[in-house]
Amino acid sequence: MTLGGKVAIVTGGARGLGAAVSRGLAERGANVIVNYAHSRAEAEATAQHLRECGTDAVAVRGDVSVDADCRSIAAAAIARWGRIDILINNAATTTRMAAHDDLDALQAEDFLVAYRTNVIGVYQMIRACRPHMKAQGYGAVVNISSVGALRGTGTSVSYAASKGALNTMTLALARALGPEIRVNAVAPGFMATRWFSDALGQEGLDDLIQRQQAATPLKRAGTAEDVARTVIFLADEGALHNTGAILVSDAGFQLGPKAAPLPPMKTVSKAERPS
């Protein structure tokens, strides 16, 4: 119970990675705001599960792209528990592209939608929580990025670009908000969540899992729980010496395939070596 009595806000906490992080925080004793924009029933179910874990939790509606909603989410935590210790910026949106070279598939509005939630929404949530964290002399922010920001991959160019901007903002705010507030990011790789099964069907998801397992040095296809452990590490006291870190959690996928072994080489005598 390393987070006993702490208060956490998890944006987009109703399902997928957000729900897994919410559960992990509650299991360690934290009280949790489960934020949602649309998935009320799932958010309420997640909050109920957290209460059954023995901590307090409440589902709070709010669209992080709207500044007033961000302030309301923070105010809900203060009204209920009087403090905010941890902010997990998980809420995100994307536009799917079949191919990144189909430049007509994205319009300016697609970029604006992605940036409003994935970048500006994160900034607004940090701004709303900052006074309370600063006043108590402690706060931990973990932004959920993506390996797509590092590789230029993912569901769309606009999504990858927005997560790249989020990485840069993580560095800027880590520098600006210390020493009281730590700001870090996690860049997940593939996670076998419902988002993929909804998009691909179960058969398509199973095939993707197999391909991910074959492509990673650890021979693993990630789950939301795998990545949640990394997120919680950065939120917890084990990472008190970390700020401005962007921690990749992808079973080594970003390393690429193993290097091919070199062919046999003859031994070169000293006399044959170039000077």
Active site members: 159
What CA–CA distances, in Å, run from 11 to 49, 115, 183, 185, 269? Answer: 17, 16, 16, 14, 64
- Distance (Å, rounded) from C-alpha 6 to C-alpha 274? 65
Q: Pull the structure tokens for residue 58.
A: 């409440």
Q: What is the DSSP string of 10-66?
A: ETT-SSHHHHHHHHHHHHTT-EEEEEESS-HHHHHHHHHHHHHTTS-EEEEE--TTS
Q: Pull the structure tokens for residue 203.
A: 């058969």
Residue closest to 179 by CA, chosen among 143, 237, 140: 140
Residue closest to 247 by CA, chosen among 263, 229, 222: 229
Residues counted in the chain: 275
Q: Give me the sheet containing 57-61, strands edge to edge.
A: 57-61, 31-36, 7-10, 86-89, 139-144, 181-188, 246-249
Residue closest to 244 by CA, chosen among 187, 167, 189, 180: 167
Q: Dihedral of the CA atoms 206, 212, 214, 219 (nearest 10)?
A: -110
